């Protein structure tokens, strides 16, 4: 089952091998009845249909229902509305003071998915940001799987093998976990696209170097404006595969380097032209933050690769922090056996090295056993100390691992489909045993937001367009009542001092709205602490002074379990009971 050896230098190479030939070329490829374009289109339909079926509870149950949960998606829903609003009002889309007014926020530090928001602008304008977010989940899941299928197809003889590879990627534990709320990650199109571009630049070299280089630069810039974390992961995890291939094909490096250097130069130039200003805002712009923003704990334990989580159909213990790395014993055994038997196949070897590196790096910089750090240093300790990479969660590196596993399985299926009947049956059975444990629990769950009519019937347009609106719930512990989503649903009719965004603060950053005295009081009220029976004159002046500092001109108390207490508090603070309308209590004209 090993690939044919590389011919000696200077001798005719014979028919192209799978690693060197485009699908459809080469004398050893079987005939296919469908043209590649038709087969690819049918594969796209399959991946789209599968995504719709997997996500259907969040797609067709109402304008306030989304795929996944109602925690993190609020900032993505807000971003889908912000981008077209900013462009139509001639505002800088990379910076905003519509959240965390008046200082605002640097959106390059806040997973603002600007490129998907641009693509989905027509959907957002017609149907609103919640529908647009649900469309994004379908497109992100299906196109990620389809692009993985196209990448795998470069090295497989049969479309069915490539489709299986795409399904492994589309339904991987990484995708199933991220689709519940992380739009900057479930739009995982760039990793397989990078494989396609690198294959064209390093191996095939069929097109003009400047064309491929410019396209790669455009794709990288689009990924930067979708999510910097996935761009960093893609570049980092390409390194082990490239080193492996460079060692295997070291005798052919010199003859290909001229094309590679030219393509890389054009890619860098296109990336700088398109992403230069966003990079400036990210690295040197106002409101930039520093430090590790996402906290610790998102590292894999050695058993995480072997024991299923609650996200798999054959489920095990729920391990949310590291559930996106599961491979399973059968698939891991199959990958090891295939790699050993096909150790002369360059693609299999490079993919195996990528999987191994992803697994080791996913363990983090300190080996964790039974939930406790052991103090044993691991390779990730080096990247985690570097800028940008210090904000990559180690478990998310497995996105590259699943793409590599898809390639190994596809190459294995190629050999199985061309084997004798009894070996074909045995091979297909082995593949089924290996892949069945990876089947996720479907359909993906959905969640519903509470959206007051005040923000959907046009009443919010009565709020002032200058200054800010102080809104509750104030803290981050009430995901079903997200003020950011209410602002987006209203069409950005007002600015607000709150917002679940990263902003500069002590230690490098702060998360969420201001933690001044008033902010702490409102956070306590939202957590169930009773409203004070009365306010002392000094405390009242403190609260009103902080409202003046944020140029508060209106107050909106939204629905939540603490709405009554919050309304009582503002009545006491302002001396006015406010107006109950459209599911909220509003103080339209406040002069602190």
Q: Residue range 500-505: average pLDDT?
A: 90
- CB of 15 within 8 A of CB of 26? yes
Which of the four pLDDT bands, split at 50, 70 and 90, describes residue 14?
very low
Which of the four pLDDT bands, split at 50, 70 and 90, describes residue 217?
very high
Q: How is residue 217 written in tokens?
A: 């630069």
| pTM of the predicted structure, to 2 decimals | 0.91
CA-CA distance, 494 to 550, in Å (whole number)? 14
> For residue 479, what pLDDT is reported?
65
CA-CA distance, 369 to 191, in Å (whole number)? 30
> For residue 293, what pLDDT is reported?
83
CA atoms lying within 13 Å on the CB side of residue 221? 19
CA-CA distance, 174 to 195, in Å (whole number)? 18
Q: How far is CA 522 from CA 423, 436, 519, 546, 590, in A?
A: 68, 49, 5, 13, 17
Residue partners of 206: CB distance under 8 A and separation at least 6: 22, 200
Residue partners of 190: CB distance under 8 A and separation at least 6: 219, 220, 222, 223, 226, 230, 231, 234
Which of the four pLDDT bands, split at 50, 70 and 90, describes residue 320?
low
The answer on pLDDT for 366 being more than 50 is yes
What 3-state DSSP class applies to 164? helix
Annotate 241-258 with three-state secondary structure: HHHHHHHHCHHHHHHHHH
Instruction: Please name which of 426, 435, 428 lies closest in space to residue 402, comparing C-alpha atoms.
Output: 435
> For residue 534, what pLDDT is reported?
82
Residue carrying structure tokens 């890619």: 267
CA-CA distance, 584 to 592, in Å (whole number)? 21
- CB of 48 within 8 A of CB of 142? yes
Q: Which one is predicted more confidently, 5 or 540? A: 540
Interval 436-467: pLDDT, tens = 999 999 999 999 998 999 999 999 999 988 89
Q: Residue range 403-419: average pLDDT?
A: 96
Q: Residue range 471-488: average pLDDT?
A: 81
Interval 166-178: pLDDT, tens = 999 999 999 999 9
CA-CA distance, 442 to 312, in Å (whole number)? 9
> For residue 13, what pLDDT is reported?
38
Interval 96-146: pLDDT, tens = 999 999 999 999 999 999 999 999 999 999 999 999 999 999 999 999 999
> For residue 310, what pLDDT is reported?
84
Instruction: Please name which of 408, 230, 411, 439 lies closest in space to residue 326, comparing C-alpha atoms.
Output: 439
CA-CA distance, 306 to 396, in Å (whole number)? 17
CA-CA distance, 554 to 585, in Å (whole number)? 11
The pLDDT > 90 percentage for the chain reads 70
Q: Residue range 349-374: average pLDDT?
A: 90
Give the Cα-Cα-Cα angle 547, 548, 551 (nearest 5 degrees): 90
> For residue 59, what pLDDT is reported?
92
Q: How is residue 543 written in tokens?
A: 């609260």
The domains of the chain are located at 41-70+128-438, 453-587
Q: Which one is predicted more confidently, 252 or 32? A: 252
CA-CA distance, 467 to 548, in Å (whole number)? 10
């Amino acid at each position: 089952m090993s690939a044919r050896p590389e011919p000696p230098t200077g001798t005719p190479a014979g028919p192209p091998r799978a690693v060197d030939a485009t699908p459809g070329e080469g004398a050893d490829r079987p005939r296919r009845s469908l043209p590649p374009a038709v087969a690819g289109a049918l594969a796209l339909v399959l991946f789209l249909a599968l995504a719709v079926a997997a996500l259907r509870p969040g797609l067709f149950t109402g304008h306030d229902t989304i795929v996944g949960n109602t925690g993190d998606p609020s900032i993505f829903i807000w971003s889908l509305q912000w981008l077209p609003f900013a462009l139509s009002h001639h505002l800088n889309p990379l910076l905003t003071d519509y959240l965390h007014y008046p200082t605002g926020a640097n959106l390059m530090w806040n997973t603002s998915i600007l490129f998907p928001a641009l693509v989905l602008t027509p959907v957002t304008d017609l149907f609103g940001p919640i529908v647009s977010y649900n469309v994004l989940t379908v497109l992100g899941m299906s196109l990620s799987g389809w692009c993985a299928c196209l990448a795998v197809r470069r090295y497989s003889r049969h479309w069915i093998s490539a489709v299986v590879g795409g399904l492994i990627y589309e339904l991987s534990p990484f995708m199933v976990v991220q689709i519940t709320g992380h739009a900057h990650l479930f739009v995982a199109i760039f990793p397989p696209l990078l494989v396609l571009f690198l294959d064209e630049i390093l191996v095939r070299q069929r097109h003009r170097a400047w064309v491929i280089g410019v396209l790669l630069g455009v794709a990288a810039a689009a990924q930067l404006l979708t999510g910097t974390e996935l761009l960093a992961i893609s570049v980092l995890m390409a390194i082990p595969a490239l080193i492996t291939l460079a060692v295997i094909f070291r005798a052919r490096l010199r003859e290909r380097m001229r094309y590679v250097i030219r393509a890389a130069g054009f890619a860098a130039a296109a990336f700088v032209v398109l992403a230069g200003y966003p990079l400036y805002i990210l690295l040197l712009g106002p409101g930039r933050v520093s430090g590790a923003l996402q906290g610790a704990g998102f590292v894999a334990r050695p058993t995480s690769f072997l024991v299923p989580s609650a996200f798999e159909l054959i489920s095990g213990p729920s391990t949310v922090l590291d559930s996106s790395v599961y491979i399973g014993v059968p698939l891991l055994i199959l990958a090891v056996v295939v790699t050993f038997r096909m150790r002369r196949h360059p693609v299999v070897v490079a993919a195996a090295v990528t999987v191994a590196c992803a697994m080791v790096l996913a363990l983090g910089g300190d080996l964790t056993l039974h939930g406790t750090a052991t103090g044993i240093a691991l390779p990730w300790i080096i990247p985690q100390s570097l800028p940008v990479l210090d904000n990559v969660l180690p478990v998310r590196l497995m996105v590259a691992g699943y793409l590599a596993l898809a390639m190994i399985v596809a190459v294995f299926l190629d050999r199985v489909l061309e084997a004798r009947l009894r070996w074909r049956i045995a091979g297909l059975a082995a593949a089924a045993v290996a892949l069945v444990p990876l089947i996720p629990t479907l359909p993906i769950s959905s969640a519903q937001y509470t959206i007051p009519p005040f923000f959907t019937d046009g009443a919010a347009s009565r709020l002032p367009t200058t200054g800010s609106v102080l809104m509750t719930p104030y803290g981050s512990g009430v995901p079903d009542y997200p003020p950011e989503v209410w602002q987006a649903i209203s069409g950005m009719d007002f600015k607000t001092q709150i917002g679940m965004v990263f902003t500069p603060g002590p230690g490098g950053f702060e998360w969420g709205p201001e933690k001044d005295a008033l902010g702490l009081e409102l956070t306590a009220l939202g957590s169930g602490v009773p409203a004070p029976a009365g306010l002392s004159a000094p405390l009242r002046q403190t609260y009103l002074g902080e409202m003046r500092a944020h140029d508060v001109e209106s107050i909106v108390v939204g629905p939540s379990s603490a709405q009554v207490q919050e309304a009582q508090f503002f009545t006491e603070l302002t001396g006015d009971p406010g107006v109950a309308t459209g599911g909220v209590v509003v103080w339209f004209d406040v002069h602190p």
